[in-house]
Amino acid sequence: MIFLFFYLFIMAIIFFFVIGLIFIPYGFTAYSLITLITVPQQIINIARNKDIRRNHALEHATINVLERYIGQGLPLSGLAQKNGFIISGAPDPHLVLEAAQEGLKLLKQGECQLAIHRKCGTSMAIANFLAALLFIIFLLLTGYFSLLAILIALLAANLLGPYLGELIQKHFTTSCDVEYLEIVGIQLEYKTARPHYSLVDYAPPGYFVETKYLKLITD
């Protein structure tokens, strides 16, 4: 009886493995086509909105300063919005506010490298886009599905994605034009909805840092 159960278990594993080998390339193809459409649109939506780009830069600067304060052990994440940004994973709102004020001061002093963060959702989205693009190109050139093509595309995307992601952050999804940006206050954010322009799927509850752009002339 035990032998029969073990035999059926092994056969089930083999069956699902074979099914996976057959359908994974088709699923990855569908995912790639969707990614090729959605990621550029999300980046364009952010690039067109100066408020989000400024707050995105300050969000990154805040996280970079927080990591200087408390190291990189905490699972810090952020989400920029039109009127501020959310920082999740920090233990103390006073520390978040202090880091945001310090980050804003440093950005105003020209330290624009703080507006870039290696773990930004932009970099992850660009890596996904690059993997999808490489896979589709391979598919068009060869005319057949291949798990090897998926693996090569994923490997290349993970190697090149972070560098390309930083370039996209610098030129399209953040802005160091923060001379007239001011921090209004901070409050606990219990629930975070994913905006349509967000490059991340989910942001856990955290602290919302409200900002205001004081320049009177419309950009």
pLDDT in tens, 138-177: 888 887 767 778 788 888 888 888 899 999 999 999 999 9
Contact 64, 217 (CB under 8 A): no
CA distance 142 to 152: 14
Q: Which two tokens stand for residue 21?
A: 């080998």
8 A C-beta contact, residue 166 and residue 123: yes
Query: What kind and span of H or E run contains 206?
Result: strand 206-213
- pTM for the full predicted model: 0.79
What distance in Å separates the CA atoms of residue 89 and residue 205, rounded to the nearest whole number?
8
CA gap 61, 110 in Å, rounded: 12
* Rounded-to-integer distance, Cα 36 and Cα 38, Å: 6
Q: In degrees rounded to 5, what are phi and psi of residue 78?
A: -150, 165
In this predicted structure, the answer to whether residue 24 has a pLDDT above a threshold of 80 is: no
Residue 20, Cβ neighbours under 10 Å: how many? 12
Summary mean pLDDT of the chain:
82
52-107 per-position pLDDT tens digit: 999 999 999 999 999 998 877 778 889 999 999 999 988 889 999 999 999 999 99
- Look at residue 21 and tell me whether its pLDDT is greater than 60: no
Neighbours of 82 (CB within 10 A): 15
- Please count the residues of the chain: 219
Long-range contacts of 34-41 (CB under 8 A, 24+ apart): 35/128, 35/129, 35/131, 35/132, 36/129, 36/132, 36/133, 36/136, 39/125, 39/126, 39/128, 39/129, 39/199, 40/129
Domains of the chain, each with CATH number or no CATH: 50-108+174-219 (3.30.980), 117-173 (no CATH)
